[in-house]
Structure formats: C-alpha cells, structure tokens
Amino acid sequence: MNPRVGFVTQLGMDPLVAIERAGALGFDYVELMLDGETAPHRVADRRDEFARALDDAGLDLLVHLPFGGIDVASPFEGVREGSRRAVEDAIDAAAALGAEKGVLHAQTNVWRPAWDAAELRPHLVDSVRHLAAYGREREFEICVENIPRGQFSTTDVPDVVTEADASMTLDTGHARIDGYDADGMANLVADSRRVSHVHLNDTRRARDEHLAFGLGDIDFGTLFDAFDDDWAGTLSLEVFTLDYDYLAVSKERLDALLGERR
C-alpha cells in the first residue's frame, strides 16, 4: 500500500495553526472538519486565507462534511432535500479550495420505532448517488463513513456505496462498536474494494474513544495487509486531542507500521 497520511481537525483547534502544524510534522494533507469555526460558509468567506495556508504548508486538503442536522435518508422529502442542499453547499466550499475528498455521514435520525431500515434505504442510496455525482462534477470524491449502531450499520455501507457508485470511509473504532475485530475489518476491505479512505480511530474496547494511534489494541497491521499493494488511498488519524504532540507520536507509530509494508 502507498497511502497518504493526514489528520482530522478537531473543534477547538485554530484551523490555520492546524494546517501549519500538519506541514511541519510531515503530513500529506489535513482533513478539515466543516463545522463550527470552519463551517462551509465560514470557510468560503476565508477561502484565500485557507488557500495560502495550504500552499505555504505544501498540503493537500480533504474535508469532513457537516453532519449535525443532516439527514439524507429522511422519509420526509423536505428534510431530505434540504439536507442534500446543505451537503452540496459544503462540497462547493470544499471544491473551491481544491479539496479532493469529503467524508459523508449517510444516516438518518428518524424516530426509529416508526420507520424501519428497509423503507429508508432507497432514500439513502438515492441521496448518496446524487451527492456522489454532484461531487464528481467538481472532481470531488464522496466517501461514506460507517456510523455505529445507527439505522444503517457498518455492514450496510459496502452495498450502499456500490449501488450509489460512491466510495467508503472505514472508521475503525466505529467498526469495532458494530462488532468487527481487525480480521472482520480486513475482510470488509478485501470484499468491497470501495474503501478509499480510513479514519484511524484506535480504541481499547467497543467505544468511540479516538485514542492516539497505538494506544488502543486494534491490530492495524492485519487491516493494512488487506489492502492491495498498489492501494493509494488516504489514512486520517482521528485523535480526540488538541495536543499536537499526540499527533506527532501517532504519525511516528503509523509511519513505522506502514514502513514494514512498503
């Protein structure tokens, strides 16, 4: 495998500092969280500032599309269409900065006793197909993330992205919550061939811990061995920290593990 490596920015990080530190630490890209201070409309207002920072740091850009309040699989047409428009706006803001991929939470927050997944799945696939096509027109790749214990689980995502002609983000911690160990994640990668992006979310148990890489006990070596030798996707360290030292150590450990496979 020959991936590029980056990290997901966290709420509380100064985005321009995050970009500068990512460059200084030798990352290939940053994955900018498009919410809060870096919500799409705010990024659009500061486009030149962000573009200069990325250029100065020599970094590529990925984004995590907004997900709070977004419901692309809602049974209610107005909610669904409004959610699509919000994601389209985020894609436009990201593409204007040259972002190449965006992580999408393709889920629903409907009242679960009233709706089952079989009824909502066509809405989900249709929305993902629409957004993937919208992204392709802007040279932007939609990568659907597995969200644990939702109406649609990790197991559902490979078939959804295949039907919708989209890519997948595999979040390792989320997969663990849904019952996957490293072998199960490796089988998902080998069977689907749609995983373009990975959130490296290390955990010690079936919870969304987002520990520094190597602090948990997920066997990432087994997962990485499932990717083809020529796989050139992206690996984002998703560590819940504002301390760049933890990201630096995480990158060192990740680089060492990848070095064994090159």
Q: How far apart are CA 117 and CA 66, in angstroms?
A: 22
Residue 189 contacts residue 223 (beta carbons within 8 Å): yes
Q: What is the pLDDT of residue 191?
A: 95
For residue 163, the model assigns a pLDDT of 98
CB 43 within 8 A of CB 97: yes
Range of the domain at 151: 4-259
Q: How high is the pLDDT of residue 261?
A: 84
Q: Which CATH number goes with the domain that contains 100?
A: 3.20.20.150
Amino acid at the residue 256: A
Percentage, residues of the chain above pLDDT 70? 100
43 contacts 12 by C-beta, under 8 angstroms = no
Question: Which pLDDT does position 161 carry in this prediction?
Answer: 98
Distances in whole angstroms, Cα of residue 224 to Cα of each of 47, 91, 99: 35, 29, 25
List Cβ neighbours of 240 (8 Å cut-off, separation of 6 or more). 10, 209, 210, 211
Q: What is the pLDDT of residue 219?
A: 98
Q: pLDDT tens-digit profile of 4-23?
A: 999 999 999 999 999 999 99
147, two tokens: 């969200």
DSSP state of 167: E
pTM over the 0.95 mark? yes
User: How many domains in the chain?
Assistant: 1
Amino acid 262: pLDDT: 75
Low-confidence ranges of the chain (pLDDT < 70): none
Identity of the amino acid at 80:
R
